[in-house]
């Protein structure tokens, strides 16, 4: 009455249930072994994109840090163009942690100076809501341009 359980070959599609009531140990099907390997593999694959994105973020920050200039010149620009440049510049300055930056807007009609001050006040409002320290800014030194530039302490 005892029959031996034959190991499954790759040609069989479904396992046949044992018809006897013997207590012989059965081998773990290859599918289950593969599943545990698949689970382990999926965990490592889940970590790989994070590492790649983390590396790309680091390289972007490093590239921006190396190419960052402490002075932004928006003299002669239209308001919409100056706004885009100012937003991008201040984002980079805060990301790099520049310490002190200078924005040259000129005296002219005062529109670019007003734009710069309004944007910096907006940044300060958002920083205060988050409980962060506000930026300090004001006119530059009289010997270096005075009211034609704004010096920002980050």
pLDDT tens column, 31-70 = 545 556 656 666 665 555 555 566 777 887 788 888 889 9
* Residues facing residue 102 across a β-bridge: 71, 151
- Which of residues 67, 94, 121 is at a domain's end? 67
Within this chain, do residues 48 and 35 fall inside the same structural domain, yes or no?
Answer: yes
pLDDT, position 43? 62
How far apart are alpha carbons 85 and 74 in whole angstroms? 8
pLDDT tens column, 95-147 = 888 889 999 999 989 999 999 999 999 999 999 999 999 999 999 988 888 89
> 75 in a domain, yes or no?
yes
pLDDT, position 98? 86
Among 67, 69, 93, residue whose Cα is nearest residue 153: 93
pLDDT, position 138? 93
> 107 in a domain, yes or no?
yes
The three-state secondary structure class of 34 is: helix
The enclosing domain of 136 has a CATH number of 3.30.1370.110
Contact 120, 136 (CB under 8 A): no
Structural domain that includes position 104: 68-153
CA distances from 138 to 4, 84, 141, 149, 152 (A): 90, 21, 9, 8, 7
Token output for 9: 């070959």
How far apart are alpha carbons 47 and 73 in whole angstroms? 42
Backbone angles phi, psi at 38, to 5 degrees: -65, -40
Q: How many domains does the chain have?
A: 2
How far apart are alpha carbons 64 and 59 in whole angstroms? 9
pTM summary value: 0.61
């Amino acid at each position: 009455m005892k029959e031996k359980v034959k190991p499954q070959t790759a040609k069989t599609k479904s396992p046949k249930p044992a018809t006897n009531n013997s207590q012989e140990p059965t081998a773990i099907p290859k599918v289950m072994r593969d599943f545990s390997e698949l689970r382990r593999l999926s965990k490592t694959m889940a970590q790989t994109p994070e590492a790649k994105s983390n590396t790309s973020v680091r390289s972007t920050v490093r590239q921006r840090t190396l190419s960052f200039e402490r002075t932004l010149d928006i003299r002669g620009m239209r308001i919409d163009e100056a706004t885009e440049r100012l937003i991008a510049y201040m984002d980079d300055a805060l990301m790099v942690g520049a310490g002190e930056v200078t924005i040259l807007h000129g005296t002219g009609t005062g529109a670019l100076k007003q734009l710069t001050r309004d944007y910096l006040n907006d940044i300060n409002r958002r920083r205060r809501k988050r409980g962060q320290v506000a930026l300090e800014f004001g006119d530059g030194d009289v010997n270096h341009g005075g009211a034609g530039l704004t010096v920002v302490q980050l």
